[in-house]
Structure 1
């Protein structure tokens, strides 16, 4: 993969907070044009904990793929050696990672279908996978070291943006004129609206068949359109429960397009790991 430089970041690179501090910080920044054609945003996470035992972080993620640069005390994340540049495919269940005592991640979240449009190939093989970026993206030698050498998130964002813009430049016209990618982006925009609880109305709005949506989402997103729709509605369910709502789970299920309380419970439990009633009570 050619990450020799990344494995030994330049002197002075800030990988994580100094010992004796306790922080868990996140940040999100916009991406410049034309990278925003395929990228949604830049994000970063930095942590240091007082406890020496590993900590499991779990997130109900959105249907996105990511290019990340990661470093951690102990030199391993996701079972891979770090510092390194990694590509995360779409996660169909809860994203779970055992965090060491300290670390840093900076990354670019691609729009649904954005990585496929950038590469000109499907991304179904990346679903539920974390792989060295060199297996997916060309020219990543030294990328992790270059990103980690910067002292602030804006500069780290700019390093990642320059690399991705170099890949995008020769394909920019194809990406902008790609009808499949445009259809997927518009479909996902509609699916984010809570009132959309079935695929039929989404397909009708886009003047395509359900079979066409299935083919496009498998290629561009790495999951079925029904899975993406259901993930957004599960996100809505979690948000409602976190906000103290959902006292009537049957009513919540109906509002999110589930056939009944039992249907919501099965779908919620399969992904989150506990039924909504226990999640609402504080069990995680």
Structure 2
């Protein structure tokens, strides 16, 4: 589901899994620099969990008969829903008691009464707009620069290109995503490789590695093993 226009710079997308489609299962979530707000909805209660940026894979449980609404924030756009920094939430999660001052019971009632995913988005949007977000800084400049280039830059070269000190760049990434520019680029490249593997299942690993900017498929496999514990080929096999 597309992000609301008023939150397009903060929210990448929303995902709704209705109760009739959910199953009891552990879902693998691979490393990324994004923060996710997970809302679990049932007749009994509404549960809200904020998941921080990931440098390793985690498993998130779901229960059959429960609805799940996920808000996927852009990298560096972690909302101030908790009194914690992104670095404190790396590979971690925290349960919320409220969202923007609204109790979870009241929020759950509103979302369940909304009926459609689009109406749920309309209910949630005003609350998310009330939450403070980090102001623009050197991280935003660096991210725009990285997204505009076909190949990743080494942190020193990135700092030079932006006329920043390496220390300033390191601090900006630490404050906004919780880890270093080097870790960020590794994870961003992993995500790009995963997308390529899903979209082009017949393409060889060497071709995917070359497309993404790895030196060769052995380097790509090494990154996959270190970050996910699995090989690229594993992500082509049926789950």
* Structure 1 and Structure 2 fold alike (TM over 0.5): yes
Contact kept, 8 Å, 2:22 with 2:67, in 1: the verdict is no
Aligned match of 1:32: 5
Distance 1:116 1:153, change over 3 A: closer
Match for residue 71 of structure 2 among 105, 108, 120? 108
Kindly state the Cα deviation for residue 216 of structure 1 after the two structures are TM-superposed: 1.0
Describe the shift of the 1:85–1:195 C-alpha distance in structure 2 as closer, same or farther (beyond 3 A): same
Q: How many Å apart are 1:151 and its aligned residue?
A: 0.9
Q: Which is worse superposed, 188-197 or 206-215?
A: 188-197
The total of aligned residue pairs comes to 235
User: More deviation in 251-260 or 220-229?
Assistant: 251-260
Do residues 157 (structure 1) and 124 (structure 2) align? no
Structure with max Cα Rg: 1
2:39 counterpart of 1:69: yes
Q: 1:216 — aligned with what?
A: 172
Are 1:196 and 1:202, in contact at CA under 8 Å, matched by a contact in 2? no
Q: Distance in 2 between matches of 1:121 and 1:56?
A: 26
Give the one of 17, 35, 42 matched to 1:45: 17
3-state SS of 2:56 partner = coil
Larger mean Cα displacement after TM superposition, 219-228 or 97-106: 97-106
- Runs (4+) of structure 1 moved beyond 6 Å? 117-121
Change (3 A) 1:154 1:127: same
How far residue 260 of structure 1 moved from its aligned partner, in angstroms, is 4.3
1:235-268 superposed Cα distances (whole Å, 9 cap, x missing partner): 222233331255253x644553444443322211
> Which one of the candidate residues 171, 191, 197 is aligned to 2:146?
191
Aligned to 2:189: 233
For the residue of structure 1 that corresponds to 2:38, the secondary structure is: strand
Deviation of 1:124 after TM superposition, in Å, equals: 1.4
Question: RMSD of the alignment, in Å?
Answer: 3.3
> Which secondary structure does the structure 2 equivalent of 1:230 belong to?
helix
Instruction: Check if 1:244 corresponds to 2:211.
Output: no
Q: Is the 8 A contact 2:49 2:94 kept in 1?
A: yes
Structure 2 unpaired stretches of 5+: none
Q: Distance in 2 between matches of 1:117 and 1:83?
A: 20
What is the match of residue 158 of structure 2? 202
Q: Deviations over 1:75-99 (max 9, x none)?
A: 7xxxxxx521221211222342233
Q: Which runs of 5+ in 1 are unaligned?
A: 1-27, 76-81
Partner of 1:131: 94
- After TM superposition, the score normalised by the length of structure 1 is 0.68
Name the residue aligned to 1:140: 102
Q: Which moved more, 1:222-231 or 1:35-44?
A: 35-44
- Cα separation, 2, equivalents of 1:83 and 1:129: 20
Structure 1 residues 248, 43: CA separation in 2 closer, same or farther (over 3 Å shift)?
Answer: closer
Q: Are 2:3 and 2:13, in contact at CA under 8 Å, matched by a contact in 1?
A: yes
**Aligned position for 1:87:** 50
Check the 8 A contact 2:50/2:94 in 1, yes or no: yes
